[in-house]
Amino acid sequence: MDDTGPTPAIDDTREQLLAAAHRQFAARGFHGASISLIAGELELTKQALLYHFHRKEDLYREVLHRIAQRMFVTLRNNVAPFAPAAQRFEDAVMGVYAAMVDNPLDAKVLMHELLEHQRRDAPEDDWFFKAWIDKHVALLVEARGDHDRPNAEAVAQVYMLASAICYYAASGPVLVRFYGEGEFAAIEDAYERELRALVRRMIAGG
């Protein structure tokens, strides 16, 4: 019998810590979320957390890595490989939108990470979201069929879409408070339509 692997209890504690860290990093960012807060949410000691993750940086990196993995799974699941290029880009963006609305904590973590530049010393291999942005840039360039435009323009447009989606997904509860559940449902429908229209204008070169 192989007993060298982690026990189910250890795996379960690790997953609970990652879930708590996800919530704390979404609410407070890397610097605001302390080891004590994360461990305390589960009524664990700091030492128990450090047994699984030696540093807060290690925990944060794993949270970011998992978000990036989910984003790439979303991309793979929403983009048909043999669809027309314009359809692939539109499906990719709308897939991101649906995923972020369903997982607003991911959107909040990303906003903290991108706005606060919290891992400025991270190695290039840890720039998880650059690869995701570059993939969408390549899809946009292919959709337009115009490889002579400056790459910076496509990067700016993809980043504009991503930031707008994250901001909207993260601010849903505020819009509900402002306008109520019924009106928010109408806003959601309108936002999706406007986003799709913006994507199509970008593809057309607008």
Q: What is the pLDDT of residues 137-153, one digit of tens each?
A: 999 999 998 777 788 99
| Class of the CATH-defined domain 64-204 | mainly alpha
What are the pLDDT digits (tens) for 52-94? 888 898 999 999 999 999 999 999 999 998 999 999 999 999 9
Q: Give pLDDT tens digits for 97-137.
A: 999 999 999 999 998 888 876 666 777 777 888 889 999 99
pLDDT for 127 equals: 80
Task: Give pLDDT, residue 8.
Answer: 55
Which contacts qualify for 23-27: CB closer than 8 Å, 24 or more apart?
23/105, 25/60, 25/63, 25/109, 25/112, 26/104, 26/105, 26/106, 26/108, 26/109, 26/112, 27/108
- pTM of the complete model beyond 0.85: yes
Confidence of residue 46 (pLDDT cuts 50, 70, 90): confident
129 vs 127: CA distance, rounded Å = 6
